[in-house]
Amino acid sequence: MKFFANLHNNPQAWLLLAFSALVFEGCALYFQYILNLEPCIMCIYQRVAIFGILFAGIIGFIGSDNITARILAFASWGLGAIWGLVIALEHVEMQTSSMSFLFSCEVVPNFPSWAPLHEWLPSIFAATGDCGKISWQFLGYSMPEWMIIVFATYSLIWLVVLASTLKVYKRL
């Protein structure tokens, strides 16, 4: 329990979190630009969630000695992981539901007016694909199904670290 509870103090653990998210961002760009798979709006939102986890790792690494930075990093990690999981689940529902014709997917991301990522970095955040189209599978699972596994893993680790930390600090 103490191992998980102390992870938030360890800069290498935060660096590993950031590195894992960076690898997933690299994979997304590989799929987009090398394999020519166009990302849909749901893919873009999942990409943003992974960036949230990446930034959490960077903030945690830089501020591992600062309680405010750790809390911010921990909140960003949890928010990115859980929000990404919800988006991935919705995406799978869009692709597999017998009522999929009822789902529609926006063309322009719904980013805040103060952060129009799709305008600032269209090569990363512009949505050009169709949410309902399954254009890639590995071991019988589509991209959003794999993202459920990724985000569920991030969420589970986040919950274990949170529970361990709360349990250890409750004893003190």
Retrieve residue 15's tokens: 């660096």
pTM given for the model: 0.84
100: pLDDT strictly greater than 60: no
Average pLDDT over residues 136-160: 91
Q: Would residue 105 show up in a list of annotated catalytic residues for this protein?
A: yes
Residue 159 — φ and ψ, nearest 5°?
-65, -40
Query: What CA–CA distance (Å, rounded) separates 41 from 47?
Result: 10
pLDDT for 103 equals 61
Average pLDDT over residues 115-123: 72
Amino acid at 30: Y
Q: What is the pLDDT of residues 33-53, one digit of tens each?
A: 999 888 888 898 999 999 999
Q: Would residue 40 show up in a list of annotated catalytic residues for this protein?
A: yes
Q: Which residue has the tokens 């970095």?
A: 121
Q: Are 161 and 8 in contact (CB under 8 A)?
A: yes
Q: Would residue 43 show up in a list of annotated catalytic residues for this protein?
A: yes
Split at pLDDT 50, 70, 90, the class of 122 is confident
Average pLDDT over residues 74-89: 95
Average pLDDT over residues 107-119: 70
Q: Which of 27, 47, 70, 171 is catalytic?
A: 47
Q: Would residue 27 show up in a list of annotated catalytic residues for this protein?
A: no
Name which of 85-89, 105-109, 133-137 the model is least confident about: 105-109
Tell me whether residue 123 is exposed, middle or buried, using C-beta atoms within 10 angstroms of its C-beta: 0 to 12, 13 to 18, 19 or more.
exposed
49: CATH: 1.20.1550.10
pLDDT for 50 equals 97
Q: Which of 27, 40, 70, 171 is catalytic?
A: 40
172: pLDDT strictly greater than 90: no
Q: Into how many domains does the chain fold?
A: 1
Q: Which of 27, 43, 70, 171 is catalytic?
A: 43
Q: What is the domain extent for residue 39?
A: 2-171
pLDDT for 64 equals 82
Split at pLDDT 50, 70, 90, the class of 7 is low
Retrieve residue 37's tokens: 């798979």
Split at pLDDT 50, 70, 90, the class of 91 is confident
Q: Which of 27, 70, 105, 171 is catalytic?
A: 105
- From residue 80, alpha-carbon distances to 28, 47, 58 in Å are 16, 10, 14
